[in-house]
Amino acid sequence: MSDHGYFGQYGGSFIPEILYSSQQQLLKHYREAMADPSFIADVKREMQQYSGRPTPLTHCANLSAQLGGAQIYLKREDLNHSGAHKMNNVIGQGLLTKRMGKKRVIAETGAGQHGVATALISARLGLECTIYMGAHDIERQYPNVFWMKQLGATVVPVTTGSQTLKDALDEALRDWTSSFEDTHYLIGTSCGCEPFPEMVAGFQSVIGEEVKEQAMAQIGAMPDKIYACVGGGSNACGIFLPFVGTDTELIGIEAGGRGDGVGEHAKRFNTDQAKFGISQGYATMFLQDDQGQLAPTHSISAGLDYVGVSPILADLSDRGLVRMSSALDTEVVAAFKQLMLAEGIIAAMESSHAIAGGLREAASLDPSQNIVINVSGRGDKDIFTIAKALEDEPFKDFLRSYLEGQD
């Protein structure tokens, strides 16, 4: 990383002046904390004793045999407390909030996983918690909203713009401009101004570090390829960064959505609809129109439905150190089902993008090769979306009778 949070031409800090001193304070505390062995020990302890780390590396013998190609391993971030990798980051930033003496956290959330993780850690650390969530996402992911509220968080529906993750991020930034004195903005992905991309990717890198150890212990070699879904990019950064510059190929899978039309997908790479831009506090590849207006996005998974991408990944892609690909909604549902039936693992829709990308390429690899796919989260949160995608009629009957108050 170069000075001032730049990653190649991406990153940097482009925030309203009002946030400058708060950002400087965060930078100072973050650097001090990372140099303090007791802080690092606290983070590690919470990751182990609260979230259940290390998460396993699971060999998929059945799936590998079905495809007849590479040996498929899954990094089981779905087995974190809260059911997703988001917990790694909130533990780190939650402890940092306490260290800074702030009493409140705010966060944006797309799928709701980061919102739930933030609400959980806030309850544990005794922090006040406000979550901004696009009204459209609230509709898609109400069960997560339910849990945030039960955990004592205030959930604020964001009704401006496209009512998804980018608007939630804007609204959280607005809150922060008037609340920074006692509030930490706990960003959920490796985007935003310095030091957020580096900080979130750093706390998430425990994923890749564990894969290194587990691969040596279980496979006796480093994986040939690693696949991760890319929305904002925190799970991808987490599993990729410890492998950058090694012989392991790193492949990011974006949301291909319904197709290549404007507003039908959330691909920031391999499309001319995305170009270099600066917004939401940082420079990256943004989906945008010819006037520089950020474009609408679509994905079957709310967590990948984001208009920008981690500046770290944009830079790694430019440098040829990460290969970006994508998976369509339909491929994602098929991959989700295939994994579920072959191995009894219910992956999140977000993670199923990585699975779709991995399975697509695994068949053409040699059985002596090994790939790792990051299962960033578990899929039971997606029960409504998946039941709909699978056109499960009894599920509708159940909802009807539930609403009618019948047993």
Q: At what angle do helices 37-49 and 86-100 cross, to 10 degrees?
A: 140
**225 or 298: whose CB is closer to another protein?**
298
Selected from 178, 247, 344, 394, the binder of another protein by CB under 8 A is 178
State in angstroms the smallest separation of the CB of 161 from another protein.
6
Spatial CB neighbours of 140, under 8 Å, sequence gap ≥ 6: 302, 384, 385
Nearest partner of 47 among 179, 194, 210, judged by Cα: 210
Selected from 103, 277, 323, 395, the binder of another protein by CB under 8 A is 277
- Among 29, 81, 85, 184, the active-site one is 85
Position of tokens 């474009």?
295
Q: Which stretch binds another protein (CB under 8 A): 87-95, 205-213, 287-295, 386-394?
A: 287-295
Report d(CA 53, CA 210) in Å as an integer.
9
15 binds another protein (CB under 8 A): yes
Site mask for another protein (CB under 8 A), range 209-238, x = bound:
------------------------------
**17 or 247: whose CB is closer to another protein?**
17
173 binds another protein (CB under 8 A): yes
Q: Which stretch binds another protein (CB under 8 A): 79-87, 133-141, 182-190, 275-283?
A: 275-283
Report d(CA 329, CA 269) in Å as an integer.
17
Specify the length of the chain in residues: 407
DSSP state of 233: S
261 binds another protein (CB under 8 A): no
> How far is CA 96 from its chain centroid?
20
161 binds another protein (CB under 8 A): yes
Q: How far from 331 is each of 185, 308, 325, 337, 358, CA to CA, in Å?
A: 35, 23, 13, 10, 11
Selected from 101, 217, 291, 407, the binder of another protein by CB under 8 A is 291
> Which phi and psi angles does 370 have, rounded to 5°?
-130, 130
Catalytic residue IDs: 60, 85
Q: Which residues bind another protein (CB under 8 A)?
A: 4, 12-18, 20-21, 160-161, 166-167, 170, 173-174, 177-178, 180, 275, 277-281, 286, 288, 290-294
